[in-house]
Amino acid sequence: MDKTAAISGVMGYVPDFRLTNAMLEEMVDTNDEWIVSRTGIKERRILKGEQAGTSVMAIEAVNRLLEKTNTATTDVDLVIAATVTPDMRFPSLANIVADKCKMPGIPAFDINAACSGFLYALNVGSQMISTGLYKKVIVVGADKMSSILNYKDRSTCILFGDGAGAVLLEPNEEGCGVLDCFMGGDGSGEKYLNLKAGGSRTPLTHELLDLGAHYVFQDGGPVFKMAVSKMAESAKLIMERNQLSAEDVHWLVPHQANKRIIDATANFAGLPIEKVMVNIEKYGNTTAATIPLCLWEWENKMNPGDNLILVAFGGGFSWGATYLKWAY
Ligand code: UT7
């Protein structure tokens, strides 16, 4: 790589409303003990309000990021948003964010790689900086999962929450930033995790609405197995090819889908849980927002030069890992 792209600022935004396990017990046949022992989740945030789409959270995160990093909106070259819940089918969430955050005229596009979306977007954005094309790139991962969940389906509604996280990427001359990355995919995973109705193959009809085909469908078992193997493999592969031992890694930043998947990944990589960023108990699975929300919450614990391994798995199937050196 010519130059490395480093994260020079991170910001998160989660809505105020907390949907607790006790509240879910009133809605579906479930219980706190099952949810905590099978997933690690205690509560998740839900975005309320008329016409409040994912952009509400993404805009908050990006505006606060610009302010915190003292970045003039006119200096931003590109916005990439990772999401499966854009406000509309089109225009993109990134376009809406760029407009509302007063960055007119710049390129902005979405990446749809479900729970791997932020990692994919980070990798794409960092390449755009490494080639010298751009100097300031905003990558935002945001999802309003509550807008596509069936709150009568206990197998999915307990898992997900709403949130957004954003990072600023800039060139770095000190060897910090994204040092290696890879992405993987397997479209045959479609049958295990999808949202059928409303796409071009299956346009929405009254009948499909009645069947709830416009909600997330997940066959959890096969997804769980694949998530464990791909997250673990990905972490190990990127560590090995960068000659990083478990001692060399300061932080594992895993996608937050299930505490058991996180534990298995950490175990396989030989990393103690103290080195693993975990906040699934507070937010559940916020899809494209999990990784930046972790970076945001751990920002003050990280030091310049810390080695981070980011790893994700999600719908598609999609997966990947990134090795980055923290820059500040
Ligand atoms: O981020 C994108 C990728 N997604 C993931 O990585 C998620 C991967 N999958 C998972 O995390 C897990 O498969 C789940 C958390 C979704 C499910 O956990 P599980 O241990 O695989 O449970 P299961 O689906 O095998 O269900 C076990 C039992 C079943 O009852 P029976 O058939 O044994 O009587 C379910 O009906 O638990 C029952 N069950 C529940 N019970 C109480 C399923 N959901 C619930 C619930 N509350 N919410």
CB-based contacts of 85, cutoff 8 Å, min separation 6:
53, 54, 142, 143, 144, 145, 147, 148, 287
Last residue within a domain, chosen from 177, 199, 223? 177
Q: From the alpha carbon of 157, which atom of ligand 1 is closest? A: 48
> 52 and 10 in one domain?
yes
Has residue 317 got a pLDDT over 90? yes
Q: What per-residue confidence (pLDDT) applies to 40?
A: 98
247-261 CB burial, b ≥16 within 10 A, e <16: eebbbbbbbbbbbeb
Q: How far is CA 70 from CA 101, 125, 168, 327, in A?
A: 14, 20, 11, 17
Range of the domain at 90: 4-177
Instruction: Quote the ligand 1 centre to 40 CA distance (angstroms).
Output: 12
> 165 and 71 in one domain?
yes
Is 255 labeled as catalytic in the residue annotation?
Answer: yes
Whether 114 and 172 have beta carbons less than 8 Å apart is answered as no
> 276 and 159 in one domain?
no
Last residue within a domain, chosen from 136, 157, 177? 177
> 193 and 150 in one domain?
no
Residue among 32, 85, 155 to mutate when testing ligand 1 (max atoms within 8 A of CB): 155
> 220 and 161 in one domain?
no
Instruction: Quote the ligand 1 centre to 284 CA distance (angstroms).
Output: 14
C-alpha to C-alpha distance for 2 and 27, rounded to whole angstroms: 54
Instruction: Quote the ligand 1 centre to 152 CA distance (angstroms).
Output: 15
**pLDDT tens sequence across 217-237:** 999 999 999 999 999 999 999
pTM for the model stands at 0.97
> 161 and 257 in one domain?
no
Has residue 1 got a pLDDT over 80? no
CA-closest candidate to residue 257, choices 193, 302, 307, 300: 193
> 198 and 73 in one domain?
no
What confidence tier does 2 reach under pLDDT thresholds 50, 70, 90?
A: low
Last residue within a domain, chosen from 177, 201, 224? 177
> 148 and 186 in one domain?
no
Average pLDDT over residues 94-112: 97
| CATH value at residue 52 | 3.40.47.10
What confidence tier does 66 reach under pLDDT thresholds 50, 70, 90?
A: very high
> 232 and 158 in one domain?
no
> 254 and 149 in one domain?
no
C-alpha to C-alpha distance for 327 and 304, rounded to whole angstroms: 5
**pLDDT tens sequence across 243-293:** 999 999 999 999 999 999 999 999 999 999 999 999 999 999 999 999 999
> 195 and 172 in one domain?
no
Instruction: Tell whether ligand 1 has an atom less than 6 A from the beta carbon of residue 83.
Output: no
Instruction: Tell whether ligand 1 has an atom less than 6 A from the beta carbon of residue 34.
Output: yes
Q: What per-residue confidence (pLDDT) applies to 3?
A: 84
User: Largest alpha-carbon pair distance within the chain?
Assistant: 58
Question: Which residue type does 136 have?
Answer: K
What confidence tier does 28 reach under pLDDT thresholds 50, 70, 90?
A: very high
Whether 143 and 112 have beta carbons less than 8 Å apart is answered as no
Question: In what helix (H) or strand (E) does residue 42 lie, and over which residues does it extend?
Answer: none
Average pLDDT over residues 45-49: 97
Average pLDDT over residues 93-120: 97
Mean pLDDT score across all residues of the chain = 97
Has residue 52 got a pLDDT over 70? yes
Q: How many structural domains does the chain have?
A: 2
> Given phi > 0 = left and psi -120 to 50 = alpha, else beta, which region is 182?
beta
C-alpha to C-alpha distance for 311 and 165, rounded to whole angstroms: 16
> 151 and 242 in one domain?
no
CA-closest candidate to residue 164, choices 252, 55, 302, 251: 55
